[in-house]
Amino acid sequence: MKKNTLNMAGALRSGVAMLAFLVTASLSGCERGCGDIEPTPDILPCETLVTVESASCASGAFQNQWLKLDNGEWLQPFENQTHITGIQPGQRYRIGYEVMKRDKRYDGQVVCLALPPAGKAIRILCMTPVDDTGAGCDTYVTARKVNCSVGAWQDTWLQLDNGRYLQPWHNGTGVAQLSEGARYKIGYSQMAKDSRYDNVVVCAAMPTDTMAWHPTVVSVNCLEAVTAAGATGK
């Protein structure tokens, strides 16, 4: 009788130990993975350089203002999680973003019937303006004639080495005239257009060079001519 009692007690202790093990294992498993936990998306750091450009027949978080990478690829801002509410063609930004699926949120935006450019829909997570001008005369440009245009040097604009155009709106250099095709080093800052050229009569056609359709409007603060040998002179 005593032996049977001891056997039953041992079995009971073994059963309790096994139950405790199973409960512990079950709890540990839930701590590790119970429930549907979505993985954290890969977020690109706020280091991607983009230029604002108007996209034809397009919609998005900034209407038809899309972003173009330096390699020419379009990005459609589909969701904006930054404090920036408006952007203008020609502006430069550093952004962080993630690619997302399009939904129907912009179905009500009225656009033309043609297809917009092919581009990835993105969620913008951070966005900071880029001041790529600098105060010193260290930006190389080439003077170009732009048909049907106005500016501080009439129809002569400045083209950066990457192909983008600067529309000189204010001339703070004292230089009265630029030579077509000549090279210069300038210092400049972005500015908003005002009414100073409203009475200048120009033709209504778009510039022949499509790169000049969305220039960056600037005040030119200093300008030095660049000679063939690389020397400069005011």
Segment 166-202, tens digit of pLDDT: 999 999 888 999 999 999 999 888 777 888 898 888 8
* Fold that domain 48-129 belongs to in CATH: OB fold (Dihydrolipoamide Acetyltransferase, E2P) (2.40.50)
Segment 78-90, tens digit of pLDDT: 999 999 888 888 7
Q: What is the pLDDT of residue 115?
A: 82
68 contacts 93 by C-beta, under 8 angstroms: no
183: Cβ contacts below 8 Å, ≥ 6 apart: 140, 141, 142, 143, 225, 226
67 contacts 61 by C-beta, under 8 angstroms: no
Instruction: Please name the residue that has the structure tokens 């002179």.
Output: 233
Q: What is the pLDDT of residue 66?
A: 93
Q: What is the pLDDT of residue 49?
A: 85
E-assigned strand segments in 103-178: 119-129, 139-145, 156-160, 165-171
Q: What is the pLDDT of residue 193?
A: 80
Query: pTM of the prediction?
Result: 0.47
- List of the chain residues with pLDDT < 70: 1-44, 110, 131-135, 228-234
For the chain, the first-to-last Cα distance in angstroms comes to: 116
CA distance 150 to 200: 7
For the chain, what are the domain ranges?
48-129, 139-233
Q: What is the pLDDT of residue 234?
A: 46
Torsion (CA) 107, 110, 116, 120 in degrees, nearest 10: -40
Q: What is the pLDDT of residue 6?
A: 47
Q: What is the pLDDT of residue 45?
A: 79
Q: What is the pLDDT of residue 113?
A: 76
> What would the DSSP string read from start to end of 174-201?
------TT-EEEEEEEE----STTTT--
